[in-house]
Structure 1
Amino acid sequence: MSNKILILEDEKSIRSFMKIKLRALKYDVIEAENGNEALKKVDGSVDIALLDVMLPDIDGFEVCRRLREGYPNIGIIMITAKGQDDDKVVGLGSGADDYLVKPFSPKELVARIEALLRRINRTINKQTADTNLIKNGPFTLDMNKKVLRKEDVEISITPTEYEIIKLLINNANKTVSRDEILDRVWGKNYFGDIKTVDVNIRRIRRKIEEDASNPIYLKTVWGHGYMWSIDK
């Protein structure tokens, strides 16, 4: 079965370019020209959503938030305008896994999609092949169900957040550099900015820490990277 991809883009020429390229690679493509249309068309069979930020009705950030709430395992890539760094940060903070900056090449489009699908598929394969539980302090990471619990309370996490947490919790009390996180989670050929790591870390902290501005579990090691810190 081919992977299903949603293209949400109000500019017909860009939408057509993306659709032609992806269908040529045998992806199952559905398209929408505004946010409300996209939300009506998405269901649990969609693997990846490509979301433009600037739309005629609700913006891409709001679409991203609603999709993440309804479909926590969907892969989301935001499409931002060149030079709009704030859009990248807001998009990632809204629950996106990655972003593309216009104008982008067909090669970059396909590379981002394939990298995200590998992360999603890697997580799904773990669900069926690995029944281990990783227990660390108040946290339990269920490798079978791709679920993180804190004191038996389930915390909703995205596939990308799952991969980051798994990497850090498997290296508890050791510093993992931002470059290593980027290579291990996004892949060595990732085109994007290393700030993507920082935004995802902030997003995870909001979910697991009592006070995200003063973390006690997911700590920054200044000048080096991040550490999953649990007292032994």
Structure 2
Amino acid sequence: MPKPLAVVLARRTLASLVELVLRHCDIETASTPSVPAARALLDDPNAALLIVDSAVGPAAAELVRRLRPERFGTMALVDLEAGGSSSAAFTSGADDVLRLPFTPDELAIRAAVLLGRLGRPTKVARTGALAHAALNLDEHVSIDATRVALTPSLNSLLYVLGANIGRPVTLGDVRRLTWGMDREGNAALLGRTVAELGRRLGPRFNVRGTRAGIVLSSVVA
């Protein structure tokens, strides 16, 4: 049977994070920030999930409302601190609501549950590949066969940066998407957190700040 397809309606940084996490569920993804493009992607016969950033606006809510519940599972990603509403998302017809920021395992498990309700059960793999590393939903990463323990916040940050490897993630997105990150925390605190992740990852990865944001890159041995 072909893999189920999740259509992700969100901007690039968040969409890439969702894509990386859903690899744990063996789910294909197609992402777009455009409601008309998302509507077209849902015509794919393998499309089974629609995951929407509620910040996209009323047109996204209307798209959720019009979907056939017997064919599609829908999940709204809601940022309460930016004015999002879980109640409004459920009223629009979302089957599930996940608040931003989320931990990677929470998204993976909820997506698998939605697929199960549609009669398309899938298993959640705890590990997933990223360059030289094996990410893990259980707060550690393996680099060249060496296991490195991470806090839940550092693991979340690794997924955010790893999903966008080689591209800068703005400080605003780091704060918005990293679980356990204080949005009102000062730049020095954020810098120490990023530096700690870099220290734990070691020489096979480089974590650096640029004018555009934080960049994670792999280093060839």
> What TM-score, normalized by structure 2, do the two folds share?
0.48
> What TM-score, normalized by structure 1, do the two folds share?
0.46
Q: Which has the higher contact order (CA 8 A, sep 6+)?
A: 2
